[in-house]
Amino acid sequence: MKTTQFTLLHQQTAPLLLCNVWDVASAKTAENLGFSAIGTSSAAIARMLGYADGEHMEFEELLFIVKRITTCCVLPLSVDIEAGFSENPQITAAYIRALAEVGVVGINIEDSKVNKTNGQRTLMNENSFASYLSALTTQLVKDNISLFINVRTDTFLLGVEEAVKETKKRVKLYQTAGAGGVFVPCIVQTEAIKMVVKSTTLPVNIMCMPDLSDFDTLKSLGVKRISMGNFLFDALQDDLAARLSNIVQANSFKPIFEPVSQPVLEQVL
């Protein structure tokens, strides 16, 4: 039921504003404020647990966080599984099965990998990833697991040449391989967004960026989902740093109970 509800949220006239969360507290805040759905940020969860982004944490650690969220929050939850935590689609399918069993209704999976030695992210070969995705979605059908599969392509995030052309090519391949939606982080130019949206029947998801257009403009471009990535988590960490700095400077706990001072926040940053 929740999976169907979540899928329908991508078919509205206005884009789905997905609140990215990393723990029960952030999920409950989103729920209390009336968000329609939530999604985990892998980068935020990794940083919360002391890891770098890029599958440095174990899947079991992610699953523990997800279980706590689904136990305490009734909103539809999509989970970022990075590059699938395995190059074997059967293993990834088993991980997704475990997520579905605790109430997850969607996943994000990306076509880039992070080298755990040097931290460098690289784009996978599009045909290889499409084959992997096809095997994964086929296994999920065999297992009778129905989730919204949002495939992230990192063409713009990694600044590839002719990013629009490369994105359109990958989106077509991924749709054939079973994607239910496509996520293009770091795309911001309205003309580029329009071209990607017009190239596919899949709902297009984009991510918040400092120079991204407002929601009404994104709606007019045909965007169907807007997410926050790790930026909300990072902003709250900046807020924490500012408050702690204010406590030290004031030699008092009063700053805890006052709005963050913008000048002090800028000093901290």
Same domain membership, residue 74 and residue 169: yes
Q: Do residues 136 and 183 both lie within one domain?
A: yes
Strand partners, 108: 80, 150
213, 245: one domain: no
Both 250 and 127 in one domain: the answer is: no
Comparing 257 with 153, the larger pLDDT belongs to 153
172: nearest Cα among 132, 205, 126: 126
Indicate whether 49 and 76 sit together in one domain. Answer: yes
Q: In the chain, pLDDT over 90 holds for what percent of residues? A: 93
pLDDT value for 260: 58
* Mean pLDDT on 188-217: 98
Residues 30 and 152 in one domain: yes
Residues 187 and 242 in one domain: no
Considering the domain architecture, whether residues 36 and 140 belong to the same structural domain is answered as yes
Range list of H helices, the chain: 2-8, 24-32, 42-48, 59-72, 89-101, 126-142, 163-176, 190-198, 215-221, 231-250, 262-268
**Containing structural domain, residue 235:** 231-269
**Could you tell me if 214 and 258 lie in one domain?**
no
Q: How many CB atoms lie within 10 A of CB 74?
A: 10
Among 224, 125, 141, 131, which residue's Cα sits nearest to residue 176?
131
The CA distance from 161 to 169, in Å, is 13
Do 49 and 139 lie in one domain? The reply is yes
Instruction: Write the pLDDT tens digit of every residue in 21-57.
Output: 999 999 999 999 999 999 999 999 999 999 999 999 9
208 and 245, same domain (yes or no): no
How far CA 251 is from CA of 254, 255, 261, in Å, comes to 9, 10, 15
Residue 64 tokens, joined = 């523990």
- The model's confidence at residue 263, banded by pLDDT at 50, 70 and 90, is very low
Q: What is the pLDDT of residues 203-254, one digit of tens each?
A: 999 999 999 999 999 999 999 999 999 999 999 999 999 999 999 999 999 9
Indicate if 28 and 50 belong to the same structural domain: yes
Amino acid, single-letter form, for residue 150: N
